[in-house]
Amino acid sequence: MTAQITTSGIPFDAQGQAEESRRRDLAMQAFVRDIAMTNAVQLEACVRCGLCAGACHFFVTTGDPKYTPIRKLRPLEQAYHRHVGPFAPLFRLLGIAPRVTAEELEQWQELIFDSCTLCGRCTLACPMGIDIADLVKQSRHGMFAAGLIPDRLELMDRTTKLWGSPATPAEDFADIIRETGEERGVAMNIDKERADYLVTVAPAELTEHTKALSDAAKVLNKMGYNWTYHSKGFEASNIGYLNGDIELQEKMTRQMIDTAVKIGAHTLILPECGHAYGAARWESARWYGEKVPVRVIHMTEFLDEAVASGKLKLKQINQTASLHDPCQLVRRGGVLAAPRNVMKALGLDLKELADAGAVGWCCGGGGGVVSNKRADPIRYRAFELKRRQVEDANAERFVTACGQCRITLNLGANKYKWDKKVDSLLELVADNLID
Amino acid sequence: MELLQFSRGPALTFAIAVFLLGTLWRLIGILMLERRRVDAEARPGTPTPLAAAASGVLAKMWPHKTFLKSSLFSVLNGYVFHIGLAISVLLFAPHVLFVKSLLGISWPALPSNVVLAVAVITAGSLLASLVHRLTNPVQRLISRIDDYVSWAVTFLPVLTGIAAVAHIGGRYETLLAVHILTVCAFLIWFPFGKLMHAFLFVLSRGTTAIRFKQRGAEV
Ligand code: SF4
Ligand code: SF4
């Protein structure tokens, strides 16, 4: 165990044996390396109006001002003003841009990891347009470099490096796919040498959500497409992206995209996972340039297109339903209409939550928070917001398009003995195909 | 008389020089940083970067409905003192004359008593923003020295301007000199602190809007 406590009583984890001063230097170097023009503009623009606080579920549900989004950026801001900004030499000379201390970094671990789901609601609320969520994610690069991330996340990082997935060794993947197909009586494709569609998965689909594996297959088979799962590129829920491990992020991105290219796929379908979409759809350009060699789409976009093309006919459920908008897919990904279109095609009468679409509340577990045990108490507080809105909408079903959101919402439901089941949009589609 | 000459002469010249050079230095310093971000291919139908940035700058003029409740005071009060400052600075006859003497351009002014009333409201609004900063737990926690200095160098010119126009608290020349000196303080502080948001808001709103519009997401 590496769990420790700062002098101000805040728990933190530390990895490796580095001295505190070394950790601080590593974090600073990573902070500084990351800052380019766009984020410098944003780090300069804050007017300290505090409006971002009212958008953050962790502040709203606890009332504790320490969770104010902009405050989470303090180490990054300090690094910027001391080492990068236009007046950095002057500020250093006058001693008005203090050095970040190791103690501060340790203290900020809780703010950068435990109490930020990277949901971006604060970004939407900020009158200066500062993308706070993106800057928190960037802060994680420095924290990772310093060996100052929560142990639970570091464990997933290590496992992914070792296994190629946080859920299972890559060599077991093909077996899981075959077994799931056999169990559920669905024809599966695995490791085909040529295919038009490469289908990828999220870790939960290899453990508790295996139905999603056969459901995706069912839909693609129905469409008559040439598709495959592939042991060399299956893991989409990029742990590096969440942890601030940029090398791992690159590795996981390349595994999927290079495999898609190798098998001649024109489309890579991401699973029902929000962060997978953030990492692969919007950040793979970092390594491939603007034109990523394969089309990257989320399962929800795929379903929307399939329904719109008329190739996928669905039975009508004829019930009312509310939708939880996954933050990375909707607010930060722009996929607002697709899930609603698919719900309509299923004959679901949408009862929107009071805050829906771009302003929807986070499930509380994104950004690795659900995997970070230490964050359970505030995560459950955040869940309360969602639960209230779902109850107020009073629909028969509650649907989402992200496995991580589903896990978080179900954990919340169990904790509060709430009898609402969270449906996966993909599962609803697969269960209602017209033969 | 000497103080007035000093404030109008060397003090103001120095302050304007610091303002111009400092502002340019900061803006160029930021804009010269590497542009490293490579954005993924935009969705079809994405507006041009300029159109996206412009729509983002406009969209952020007013909060989304859902955020309005928690931000109503700050938003409304913010509008009051920003507009109040603009009117007091730009539409007061002696200010218009001063600009004319400096740059040779002029525009119509508002009657002095109207501007005085606006300035009083502006001062009240600025005071309210300070009280909010000191009493609201979030704002108090996140405030830096810059926030208080920036507040002071904005408030003092308004206060001394009111005093000079209303002839309260001393000889007119002295009040005017003090008013100009507070304006100098404003100009000197401007490039170094958050007052720069007067320029930076366009850049920060714009850059975020460009990226979000490429994704088809709201700003
Ligand atoms: S809302 Fe934006 S400008 Fe206001 S304090 Fe938060 S980050 Fe700063
Ligand atoms: S991204 Fe979400 S969780 Fe993180 S600070 Fe912003 S509103 Fe809070």
3-state DSSP call for residue A198? strand
Cα dist from B116 to B19, B88, B130, B137, whole Å: 26, 8, 21, 33
A174/A299 same-domain check: yes
A218/A134 same-domain check: no
Residue A328 is given by DSSP the state T
Residue B36 pLDDT > 50, yes or no?
yes
A172/A84 same-domain check: no
Nearby residues of A353 by Cβ (< 8 Å), 6 or more positions away: A322, A323, A324, A360, A361, A389, A390, A392, A393
Residue A156, domain member (yes or no): no
Q: Two tokens at B193?
A: 């602190």
Task: Please give the average per-residue pLDDT across A3-14, as a whole number.
Answer: 90
Residue A158, domain member (yes or no): no
CB-CB contact of A120 with A133 (8 Å): yes
Per-residue pLDDT of A90-136, as tens digits, reads: 999 998 888 899 999 999 999 999 999 999 999 999 999 999 999 99
Best CA proximity match to B42, nearest among A325, A285, A293, A41: A285
CB-CB contact of A425 with A303 (8 Å): yes
Collect all residues of chain B within an 8 Å Cβ-Cβ radius of residue A286: 38
State the average pLDDT for chain B: 96
Confidence at residue A400, expressed as pLDDT on a 0 to 100 scale: 98
Q: CB neighbours (10 Å) of residue A433?
A: 16
Chain position carrying tokens 């119509």: B108
Are the Cβ atoms of A51 and B70 closer than 8 angstroms?
Answer: yes
Residue A252, domain member (yes or no): yes
Residue A1 pLDDT > 80, yes or no?
no
| Closest CB to B208 among A129, A292, A358 | A129
A217/A319 same-domain check: no
Contacts of the segment A217-221: beta carbons below 8 A, 24+ positions apart: A217/A181, A217/A186, A217/A187, A217/A188, A217/A189, A218/A186, A218/A430, A218/A433, A219/A303, A219/A306, A219/A312, A219/A426, A219/A429, A219/A430, A219/A433, A221/A186, A221/A187
Q: Two tokens at A129?
A: 């347009």
Burial label, A318 (beta-carbon count in 10 A; 0-12, 13-18, 19+):
exposed
Are the Cβ atoms of A45 and B137 closer than 8 angstroms?
Answer: no
Count of domains forming chain A: 3
Report the alpha-carbon distance of residue B189 to residue B183 in Å, rounded. Answer: 10
A19/A114 same-domain check: yes
Instruction: Name the band, by pLDDT with cuts 50, 70 and 90, for residue B13.
Output: very high
A118/A201 same-domain check: no
- Is A123 part of the contact surface with chain B (CB cutoff 8 Å)? yes
Nearby residues of A384 by Cβ (< 8 Å), 6 or more positions away: A61, A412, A416
For A382, the domain range is: 312-431
Confidence at residue B1, expressed as pLDDT on a 0 to 100 scale: 54
Residue A159, domain member (yes or no): no
Q: Sign of the CA dihedral B99, B101, B102, B103?
A: positive
Nearby residues of B195 by Cβ (< 8 Å), 6 or more positions away: B150, B153, B154, B186, B189
Per-residue pLDDT of A213-231, as tens digits, reads: 999 999 999 999 999 999 9
Best CA proximity match to B2, nearest among B181, B184, B159, B164: B181
**In this prediction, what percent of chain A has a pLDDT beyond 70?**
100
Instruction: Name the band, by pLDDT with cuts 50, 70 and 90, for residue A2.
Output: low
Residue A433 pLDDT > 80, yes or no?
yes
Report the alpha-carbon distance of residue A47 to residue B197 in Å, rounded. Answer: 7
Are the Cβ atoms of B204 and A35 closer than 8 angstroms?
Answer: no
Find the CATH number of the domain harbouring A238. Answer: 3.40.50.1860
Q: Chain-centre distance of CA A130, in angstroms?
A: 20
Find the CATH number of the domain harbouring A63. Answer: 1.10.1060
Residue A377, domain member (yes or no): yes
Residue A364 pLDDT > 80, yes or no?
yes
Collect all residues of chain A within an 8 Å Cβ-Cβ radius of residue B39: 282, 285, 290
From B138, which residue of chain A is nearest by alpha-carbon distance?
A65
A283/A328 same-domain check: no
A142/A8 same-domain check: yes
For ligand 2, say whether the CB of A176 is within 6 Å of any of its atoms: no
**In this prediction, what percent of chain A has a pLDDT beyond 90?**
96
Q: Which of A270, A288, A305 is the last residue of a domain?
A: A305
Q: Two tokens at B214?
A: 């490429």
Q: Which of A121, A149, A177 is the last residue of a domain?
A: A149
| Closest CB to B142 among A50, A128, A331 | A50
Task: Please give the average per-residue pLDDT across A18-39, as a whole number.
Answer: 94
Confidence at residue A59, expressed as pLDDT on a 0 to 100 scale: 98
Question: Atom 7 of ligand 2 has which residue's CA nearest to it?
Answer: A56
CB-CB contact of A78 with A98 (8 Å): yes
A350/A418 same-domain check: yes
Are the Cβ atoms of B71 and A54 closer than 8 angstroms?
Answer: yes
Q: CB neighbours (10 Å) of residue A415?
A: 12
Within 42-81 of A, beta carbons closer than 8 Å to B belong to 42, 44-51, 53-55, 59, 65-66, 68, 70-71
Burial label, B72 (beta-carbon count in 10 A; 0-12, 13-18, 19+):
exposed
A243/A110 same-domain check: no
Nearby residues of B2 by Cβ (< 8 Å), 6 or more positions away: none
Residue A154, domain member (yes or no): no
3-state DSSP call for residue B195? helix
Residue A399's φ and ψ, nearest 5 degrees, are -120, 150
State the average pLDDT for chain A: 96
A272/A289 same-domain check: yes
Q: Which residues sit opposite A23 in a β-bridge?
A: none
Residue A422 pLDDT > 60, yes or no?
yes
Q: What is the ipTM of this complex?
A: 0.96
Find the CATH number of the domain harbouring A366. Answer: 3.40.50
Q: Which of A101, A121, A149 is the last residue of a domain?
A: A149
Nearby residues of A212 by Cβ (< 8 Å), 6 or more positions away: A201, A202, A205, A271, A272, A403, A424, A426, A427
Residue A336, domain member (yes or no): yes
Residue B46 pLDDT > 50, yes or no?
yes
Q: Which atom of ligand 1 is nearest to the CA of A49?
A: 4
Residue A9, domain member (yes or no): yes
Cα dist from A350 to A265, A319, A340, A428, whole Å: 35, 9, 8, 14
Q: Two tokens at B144?
A: 């830096």
| Closest CB to A86 among B29, B60, B70 | B29
Characterize the bridge pairing of strands A295-298 and A267-270: parallel
Report the alpha-carbon distance of residue A397 to residue A378 in Å, rounded. Answer: 26
Cα dist from B216 to A332, A358, B179, whole Å: 9, 11, 49
Strands annotated E in A342-420: 348-350, 397-400
Task: Please give the average per-residue pLDDT across B101-107, as a whole number.
Answer: 93
Report the alpha-carbon distance of residue A325 to residue A405 in Å, rounded. Answer: 9
Per-residue pLDDT of B51-93, as tens digits, reads: 999 999 999 999 999 999 999 999 999 999 999 999 999 999 9
Report the alpha-carbon distance of residue A270 to residue A260 in Å, rounded. Answer: 12
Cα dist from B67 to A51, A125, A359, B54, B143, whole Å: 8, 7, 9, 22, 21
A37/A90 same-domain check: yes
Per-residue pLDDT of B120-164, as tens digits, reads: 999 999 999 999 999 999 999 999 999 999 999 999 999 999 999
Residue A58 pLDDT > 50, yes or no?
yes
For ligand 2, say whether the CB of A270 is within 6 Å of any of its atoms: no
Confidence at residue A202, expressed as pLDDT on a 0 to 100 scale: 97
